[in-house]
Every structure is written in C-alpha cells, then in structure tokens.
Chains A and B, each alone.
Chain A
Amino acid sequence: MGRPYVGDEQQGFIPSGGECVMYDAILAPFVEFGFMRRALVGCLALSLGATPIGVFLTLRRMSLTGDAIAHAILPGAALGYLVAGLSLGAMTLGGVIAGVVVAILSGLVARTTVAREDSSLAAFYLISLAIGVVIVSMRGSNVDLLHILFGTVLALNDAAIFLVAGIATVTLFGLAVIYRPLVMECFDPGFLRSVSPLSPVAHYSFLVLAVLNLVGGFHALGTLMAVGIMILPAAAARFWTHDITPLLVIGVLVAFLSGFVGLLLSYHTSLPSGPAIILTAGAFYLFSLGFGSNGVVITHLRSRRHLEA
C-alpha cells in the first residue's frame, strides 16, 4: 500500500500522523523483522495447501478425521526427535509415516470389523498422542514438548519454509489431478464407483495429501493447532457460498488473513503465535457463522421476509 506523497521529496518518506499508526501497527513488524516475513510466507503456503484439503475434509464430514491424523503424527515426529533431536527431516519423515499408517489402519479396521471409522480413528489417535508425549518427555525438556505441541511459526528456518511451500505445491498439483473424482467421491461416492475405478485412488491420494499438510502445519503450528488452519477457514467459508469453487477460494483467503492478523496480534500482544493465528481463524468462523450470507443472522432475517411465489 503506497503512502501519500507529501510535499517535497524529503517529506515523502515520512508518513503523516494517522497513516503512521497504521504503518506501525500493520506493516512495520513485517518490514523490520525477518522472522515475521518468514512466518507470513509460511502462513501463505499453509493457506494455499492445507485449507483446500480442509475444505474437502469438511465436505466429507471428516473434520474429526483431520484432527485424529494430526494427533497420529505426533509419535512419528517424536521418534524422529528421539533419533535426531529437533531435526526437520527426521521429524517430517517420522510424522508422514505415522500419519499414513494410522489413516490406513483406521480405514482398514472400519472396513473389516464392526467398529465405525470415527471410533477406530479416535482409538488410534488417543494411543498415538499418549505414545508421542511419552517419547518426547523421555528425552526432551518441556520446552521441546511445547514446541512439538504448539509449533514455532516465528522460528521457521529456510528449510522449513521450503518444506511447507513444497508441500503446498504438491498439494495444489495433486488436487488438480484428482479434482473431479474427489468431488464425486465426496458428493456421490456410489456414482463414482459405478462409472470408474478411481474411487480408492481419489480417497487414498487425498488422505496422503492431508497427512503431508498436517506434517507441514505441524512444523509451523504444532500438532494441536495444525488442524485448525485446515478446518476453521473451510468451515467459515461454507457460510458464504453454495458452490465448491468459491468455497475453496474463500477458504484460502480466510486462512491467509487469519495468518496475517494472527501474526500481528501475536507481535503486539506477545501471545504465542500459533494459538493467535488459530484464534483469529476462530473469530472469522464465528463472524461467518453469524453474519455470512448463509449464516444464522442473515438466514433468520431473510426467512421472515418471504419472496413472491
């Protein structure tokens, strides 16, 4: 955003009163501090990758599955940590393996036993969470545990940013490839199965993308918060549109705005950054729930004033 040009060249660099406050509040933290810029780039990448995944998770009524997989990543990442300390590669590899294993295992248990998928997922993730915390506390400090549970978006290094951005790229390409079958799998899986053998391909590719994004989100926001940047913007977007394409776009915008506002909130109030971002996303959700075009307030007002027949 350009600042007004005031008088001669010298003054042009000095913002006028009101603008100065705005500049200090909104732009200065990113202009002055490299870690804030990195965090913002990380949030942008997460929004582009994780939020579209979250949109499909909510559409498939799998929001809790996302939560469960996020927790399931923990013991894998913890094992990586046990072997190599706070190493990006080891924790990523461990997390991806654990996430995929739990996603597939719980699917298998649901298909081959009387248990439903949600209860088997819950069982697996509770076990995973406990194992993960035990492993971390075996070797690490409470600080490390906090890092793993809540992430460190303000301490993203180059490697972590490349990882998160790489995951976002893979996700966008992957979703483009499986988009049609995935939409059909969500909306009318029976129909997809009757016309094409791609149903399991769409389902499992989608699960793998979900795991990858949760691992990416885990580095920035931690296991407990990673799923928030997926689900909250997606759930908020649903109150603004009736069509899936705008749903994806609005979701990404809400997620990025949450990252931007959340980082500022964290900067100015010294709140932990991950929870600040998720809280902002939560505020967007509550606002949309009330005032979105399909939200509670608008729907309520509209229903009193009926249309002509």
Chain B
Amino acid sequence: MDDTILHFDNLTLGYDRHPAVHHLDYAIGAGSLVAVVGPNGAGKSTLLKGIVGRLAPLGGEIRLTGITVSEIAYLPQQVNIDRSFPISVFDMVAMGLWRKTGAFGQFGPDGDRKVGEALDIVGLGGFEKRPIDTLSGGQMQRSLFARLLLQDARLILLDEPFTAIDSATVRDLKGLIHRWHGERRTVVAVLHDLDQVRTDFPETLLLARELIAAGPTENVLSPVNLDQARRLTEAFDDGAAICGR
C-alpha cells in the first residue's frame, strides 16, 4: 500500500451519545478496493456517513489526504431517494456533473454527450427520457451508478449497492467497480454477501461497532472473527457507563 487517502484516528461515531463506531483506528490506501462488513447495527453505514461529514465524530477524527469532502462520490441506501419524483433519467444522471456546472453553469452538448456515454456504460442507452418512476430497482441502481460515473471522484463510497438487485445488474455493476479500481480510484463498499466480498474485494474491514479485523479479505473473514463480530453487536445498553477509553 502506498499513500493513504483516508485515515481513521481513534474515531467514535454515534447517535445520541451511543457509539455506533467505537475507537476505530485504520488507514485506507489510495486506489484500494475495500469492503466494509459486519452484522446489522455494526456501524457500517454510520462510518460512511461520518466520512462524507453528515455525522460529526463523538471522538477522534477522520482525515482525508489529497481530497476534500465535496470530491467524494457517495451512494447511500436507495430508500433515501424519492422514486416517485417527476424527473427523467437524463436529468437525474446529469446531476453527477454538478461539480462542473454548479447551480448556474451552462449545460451544453458536451454534458448531453457525457450523460449519454454514462448511460451506455451502465447498459441503459436510450433510457434518457424515461421518467424514473417507471424504472425497476435494478435499472434505478444502474442509473445511480451512471451518476456516480459522471462525478469522476477519486474516492467512491457505496452503501449496500447490491441489496435487492437482480444478479445480471450486480454482475455489470461489479464490472464497473473493478473498472474504477483499475483507474486507481478508491472504492469503499458496505456489503452483506460475504461470498461476493471474497471474490471481488481484496481488502476488508470487519466491524461490530469495534473493529474486529481489517486487512486482506481471506484473513479477515475467518470463522473466529465472524463469530466474534456476531456476539459483539447485540447489546444497546441505555444504562451504559461513560466510556473511559
């Protein structure tokens, strides 16, 4: 691993003083392809929210090297998007060019071409004028990946990108993730399917609020580690004492 792009330094993130990520120390190298895994409630999504600055740390810090927060591309879980909104696939994907156009910048033929190319890459060529409320779950996820493509980001965060998505779409989108990896972009993805992680992600972060293990995927996803993760996440103790660490 050469230079790091993302550094967690004794990081604690949480809601209402309850830590969801507890005293995390880790560094993610530029250009790496990292899976974040762990049981429900392990703090995986919380960690991504912390990285994009939507949640301020309760303790410790997150350091970005060489990029700013607004240069991160972040795909939250799909449930947060209003899928009945009256907007076309083209307009939604074009939002990915925000950093170039901003609130007033001209959106010319160059933008049209880029949106068209991104849609072609995710297999949705010709879908430009479709209203998004007519898309299937898989097609929606493809268009969101097209928007990510246009963001042209060096750090890409994906929160459960393949949950409830058909296998053909998963295959195509994984291809896209590998393409990003080949372009030396850093990709951090929250995932549930451990087989997927083993085949496609060289590096893994196993969380159960505390960091259980991190590093090469094969070592991290050992039965001992997975069992420990399962046992650690269960409690949410309202009477918990103040953490002394």
Interface residues of A (CB under 8 A from B): 59, 177-178, 180-181, 183-184, 186-188, 190-191, 193-198, 238, 241-244, 247
Contact = CB atoms under 8 A, between A and B. Distances in A.
A190 B98 contact: no
Given A180-B103, A243-B131, A188 B95 contact: yes
A244 B90 CA distance: 13
Nearest to A195: B98
B188 to A, nearest CB: 14
B70 A196 contact: yes
Nearest to A198: B103
B88 interface: yes
A141 B134 CA distance: 55
A196 B104 CA distance: 13
Closest 4 CB pairs of A and B: A242-B131, A187-B85, A194-B74, A195-B98
| Interface SS of chain B | mixed
B244 interface: no
A177 B102 CA distance: 11
Interface in B217-242: none
Contacts of A184: 95, 98
A195 B151 contact: yes
Contact of A244 (B80, B87, B99): B87
A184 B147 CA distance: 13
B133 A187 contact: no
Nearest to A201: B103
B52 interface: yes
Contacts of A180: 101, 103-104
Given A194-B52, A195-B151, A187 B74 contact: no
A288 to B, nearest CB: 14
Contacts of B101: 180
Interface of B: 52, 54, 70, 72-74, 76, 80-82, 85-88, 91-92, 95, 98-99, 101-104, 131, 133-134, 147, 151
Given A194-B52, A243-B87, A186 B70 contact: no
Contacts of A187: 81-82, 85, 87, 92
6 contacts: A59-B85, A178-B103, A180-B103, A187-B85, A195-B99, A243-B87
Contacts of B103: 177-178, 180-181, 196, 198
Nearest to B80: A190
A200 to B, nearest CB: 13
B54 A243 contact: no
B87 A183 contact: yes
B166 to A, nearest CB: 17
Nearest to A237: B86
A188 B52 contact: no
Nearest to A55: B86
Contacts of B91: 183
Contacts of A197: 70
A178 B103 CA distance: 7
A174 B170 CA distance: 42
Given A195-B98, A196-B70, A244 B86 contact: yes
A188 B99 contact: no
Nearest to A242: B131
Contact of A194 (B72, B81, B92, B131): B72
B54 to A, nearest CB: 7
A115 to B, nearest CB: 15
Given A196-B102, A243-B86, 13 more contacts: A59-B85, A177-B103, A180-B101, A186-B85, A187-B87, A188-B82, A188-B95, A190-B54, A191-B81, A194-B70, A195-B95, A238-B86, A242-B131
B95 A241 contact: no
B113 to A, nearest CB: 20
Given A190-B76, A194-B72, A242 B133 contact: yes
Contacts of A186: 82, 85
A188 B86 contact: no
A247 B84 CA distance: 14
Contacts of A177: 103
Nearest to A243: B86
A197 B85 CA distance: 22
Nearest to B101: A180
Nearest to A246: B86
Contact of B86 (A191, A196, A198, A242): A242
A225 B61 CA distance: 52
A78 to B, nearest CB: 37
A233 B80 CA distance: 27
A96 B36 CA distance: 49
Given A184-B95, A187-B81, A243 B88 contact: yes
A96 to B, nearest CB: 25
Which of A181, A184, A238, A241 has the largest count of B CB atoms less than 10 A from its CB?
A184
Most chain B CB atoms below 10 A, which of A190, A196, A243, A247: A190
Contacts of B104: 180
B81 A188 contact: yes
Given A193-B54, A195-B70, A195-B99, A188 B80 contact: yes
